[in-house]
């Protein structure tokens, strides 16, 4: 007959069991958190920024402006670095938090114009340049709010950290990480983004080009004061 265990041993077992349960719960939470780390893919954000650039395009404007605009459109996703430092998804500095807000977009545009182009550029007024960089950066949060996964976007941070989705969310959410992008899910994401981001952007750019193009044989009259 086995001798009964002492109360201390029973207590140790309870503690060990509780610790295992806690570790299991943490793993489950981490798994759920990783599944929510999702975005619209970075190339699609850049395409949207170039489409916005078509509204400001003039031949004499340096091409570097459009490159910087495309870079602005992907800057908000730098907040995913926070996952490595224990920042949770729903935190102020978490993914789709402050760096996806309208205030952050305005600050990014202001810093670029004030320090990168303080002497101006040919063919573009500083206010127009700020507006383009602002819209390019803010478009990231707008597209993320149209996806069907993850948490919403903190558009109004730092004044309000509440997350929002748009009422219409047709874009398939893209997983973070290149390795996770390949496969059936990646193909579905590409199809969704082509339909809802790439195609409308192409149509917008073509429409603007056609509207700006002078009619064949049209005579341009000089403007007199």
pLDDT band, very low/low/confident/very high, at 40 (cuts 50, 70, 90)? low
pLDDT of residue 184: 58
Q: Which residues contact 76 (CB under 8 A, 6 or more apart)?
A: 99, 100, 104, 105, 137, 140, 141
Checking if the pLDDT of 209 tops 90, the result is: no
Give the pLDDT score at 183. Answer: 55
The number of beta carbons lying within 10 Å of the beta carbon of residue 220 is 6
SS3 state of residue 153? strand
Question: pTM for this structure?
Answer: 0.74
Q: Indicate the pLDDT class of residue 186, thresholds 50, 70 and 90.
A: low
Average pLDDT, the chain: 80
Burial level of 73, CB count in 10 A (0-12/13-18/19+)? buried
pLDDT, one tens digit per residue, over 84-143 is 999 999 999 999 999 999 999 999 999 999 999 988 899 999 999 999 999 999 999 999
Bridge partners, 175 (sequence order):
38
* pLDDT computed for residue 189 by the predictor: 77
Q: Which two tokens stand for residue 9?
A: 């041993």
- pLDDT at residue 215 greater than cutoff 90: no
Examine the pLDDT at 34 and tell me if it is beyond 70: no
Predicted pLDDT at 19? 53
Q: What is the mean pLDDT of residues 146-150?
A: 88
Instruction: Give the C-alpha separation, 78 to 89, whole Å.
Output: 13
- pLDDT, tens digit (0-9, with 9 covering 90-100), for 88-100: 999 999 999 999 9
Minimum mean pLDDT among 18-22, 27-31, 46-50: which range?
A: 27-31
46-68 confidence digits (pLDDT tens)? 999 999 999 999 999 999 999 99
């Amino acid at each position: 007959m086995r001798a009964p265990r002492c109360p201390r041993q029973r207590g140790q077992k309870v503690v060990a069991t509780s610790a295992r349960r806690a570790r299991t719960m943490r793993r489950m939470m981490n798994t759920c958190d990783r599944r929510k780390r999702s975005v619209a893919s970075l190339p699609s954000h850049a395409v949207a920024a170039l489409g916005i650039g078509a509204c400001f395009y003039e031949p004499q404007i340096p091409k570097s402006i459009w490159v910087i605009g495309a870079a602005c459109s992907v800057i908000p996703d730098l907040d995913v670095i926070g996952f490595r430092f224990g920042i949770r998804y729903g935190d102020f500095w978490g993914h789709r938090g402050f760096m996806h807000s309208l205030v952050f977009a305005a600050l990014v545009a202001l810093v670029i114009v004030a320090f990168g182009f303080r002497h101006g550029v040919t063919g573009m007024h500083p206010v127009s340049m700020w507006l383009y960089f602002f819209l390019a950066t803010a478009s990231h949060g707008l597209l993320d709010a149209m996806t069907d996964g993850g948490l919403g976007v903190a558009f109004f941070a730092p004044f309000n950290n509440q997350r929002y989705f748009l009422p219409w969310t047709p874009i398939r959410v893209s997983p973070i990480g290149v390795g996770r992008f390949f496969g059936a899910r990646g193909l579905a994401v590409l199809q969704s983004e082509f339909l809802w981001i790439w195609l409308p952007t192409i149509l917008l750019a073509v429409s603007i080009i056609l509207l700006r193009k002078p009619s064949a044989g049209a005579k341009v009259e000089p403007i007199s004061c």
